[in-house]
Amino acid sequence: MWSLALVTTLALSGALAETVNLCRDDTQHSFAIDYRDNQFLLDGMPFRYVSGSFHYFRAPRHYWRDRLRAMRAAGLNAVSTYVEWSLHEPERDQFNWSGDADIVEFLNIAQQEDLLVLLRPGPYICAERDMGGLPYWLLRDTPDMKLRTKDAYFLGNATSFLTKLFDKIQPFLRGNGGPIIMVQVENEYGSFNACDKEYLDILKNIFLDKIQNKALLYTTDGTSESMLRCGSIPGVYATVDFGSDINVTKAFESMRAIQPQGPLVNSEYYPGWLTHWGESFQRVKTNAVVKTLNDMLKMGASVNIYMFYGGTNFGLTSGANGGENEFKPQITSYDYDAPLTEAGDPTEKYFAIRNVISQYLPMPGIPFPIASPKGNYGPVLLEAISELFDDNNLFEVSRSTDYDPKTFEALSVNQGLVLYETKLPSTISDEYTLNATTKDRGLIYVNKQLYGILSRGDKKFTLSLKKSYGDHLRILVENQGRLNYGNEIRDHKGLSDANIDGVQLKLWNMTGYAFPDVSVLQGKGIIPVNNGTLTSGPVFLRGHFTVTGQPLDTFLDTTGWGKGMAFVNGHNLGRYWPTVGPQITLYVPAPYLRMGDNELILLEFEYVSLTRKMKFQSVPNLG
């Protein structure tokens, strides 16, 4: 059936169109803006979305459908997800689109679960991920490149990645009958000091070339005038983001200042917040969240709740905040105090939000989620099986010698450790001071004996030592996550400015370690290692536990240990650091377990529990 409609619209490509008579097939898929009535049009009909953020890379793909269905049951009609460049291109021209990186399958499931999609492909995403989702090799191949600008190297690599991504998602664009109604250009660019308008315009044209008129392009920024001025792009719909602690009317007035007409949109509405190591777990009160949500929906706004399901920074993928004088790495959990917990369970906040949404949108009539049963698999005795500094180390990925210490990136080490070794000069005083900048945390050994720690986070860059300790200096540096937000995301890791009382140390041996596969430890026998402080270097420990019946989600309690990372059946659960907190337990998804025998491996850096045990319990402890 054909019909005539008179609307003022924003073409799906982002270009403004005149008020025209549109002749269209009612069955045609489209997403546009009616400027006359300040509303979206989905397939020609008035529409507004209440969306939730869920990043596919923060949950095993086994759980994607469950989390998406729980979101739909809350009344949401859309899901927002970032696309992480570093996940899909971990090394230059080496692409990964399978397993937990199978974004095509994620989009398929979203469509099957009756959710539209807001796609946020960056290329920079922040998301509290290492370097804001940018791949580390950008810093290796051109160390002085200017990220997020018209720098030819950055744009060339970003264009290559985006082209491959857009080729994959083409069938899922709304204009092609798919669920993707909006595609974000860059991400909160107004919070970045480059303010490179030429870069944004080039990026917009890259998006237009691939998206064409099949989805709506948009930007999102904070509500300040400077953020909106630098982050908005002519011909791209400008939206804002803010939390529950702000006056809604004033917040949307700032959007109106840059976007005079069109629907009101909060692209990131915060029901919780992120947490760093060493601080209290961040929470936002439910009453405040639902009040502000109701205020926005009452005004007719579209809203994306960031995060609706947070999930987990598995492996070593979490990022950090800070800058030149501050460094605050984020915890492994991305629970975010969201409506759905890290394990996907509904909270009081979930049902309160659902109640508000039900006053504005039709409920889908599907059962709302219930908390899943959890496994209590008890304590696991762990025995040492290998030292990191073994001569025949199985995790060595790089070895180099140079007069000056190289960065992780120059050594092709992404997320892991680098051991820097040198010989101290014979002319040092009997008592001397080691000065060094470690990015981010350095364990200091002299003649294979631990004497202290240098820490970027603690602003500790000096250590008093004695000549009698020996002359072989080792500094084991850990990357705790590259900065993901702000103006200093070009965050090279490693060691610099190492000197003894002002005299530079030269000629370094460097060994890089990475841990993609701990199965190489199979067959390793027990070795003698004392409990307590590890004075001669990190150790691997192994233990076994039994799962009877169908595996259930569980939580690994790291109480009593120092700092390290944990692996269950080869899956890297992430970093643990109970001596600093607030996170004490690591989330273990059931798909990582198996019936019968299971294996737990630790790489412990600093302190072995006196009990030599960790336990799997049914409740989380995030502090």
Which amino acids are annotated catalytic?
188, 268
Among the listed residues 570, 516, 566, the one whose alpha carbon sits nearest the alpha carbon of residue 96:
516
Contacts of 453 by beta carbon, 8 Å cutoff, 6+ apart = 441, 442, 443, 444, 460
Whether the CA torsion 188, 190, 193, 196 is positive or negative: it is: positive
For tokens 């302190």, the residue is 607
For tokens 């899909």, the residue is 88
Distance between CA atoms of residues 278 and 276, nearest Å:
6
| Helices within 301-418 (DSSP H only) | 348-357
DSSP 87: H
Contact 239, 267 (CB under 8 A): yes
Contacts of 300 by beta carbon, 8 Å cutoff, 6+ apart = 38, 39, 48, 263, 264
How do strand 494-500 and strand 503-504 relate by DSSP bridges? antiparallel
Whether the CA torsion 304, 305, 308, 314 is positive or negative: it is: positive
Distance between CA atoms of residues 473 and 445, nearest Å:
6
Tokens of 580: 């600093």
| Strand order, beta sheet including 585-588 | 378-381, 613-617, 554-557, 585-588
Cis geometry, peptide bond prior to residue 123 (ω within 30 degrees of 0)? yes
- Compute CA distances 24 → 4, 13, 223, 541, whole Å: 7, 17, 37, 66
Contacts of 200 by beta carbon, 8 Å cutoff, 6+ apart = 185, 186, 189, 233
Among the listed residues 380, 397, 391, 384, the one whose alpha carbon sits nearest the alpha carbon of residue 517:
397
How do strand 508-513 and strand 396-402 relate by DSSP bridges? antiparallel
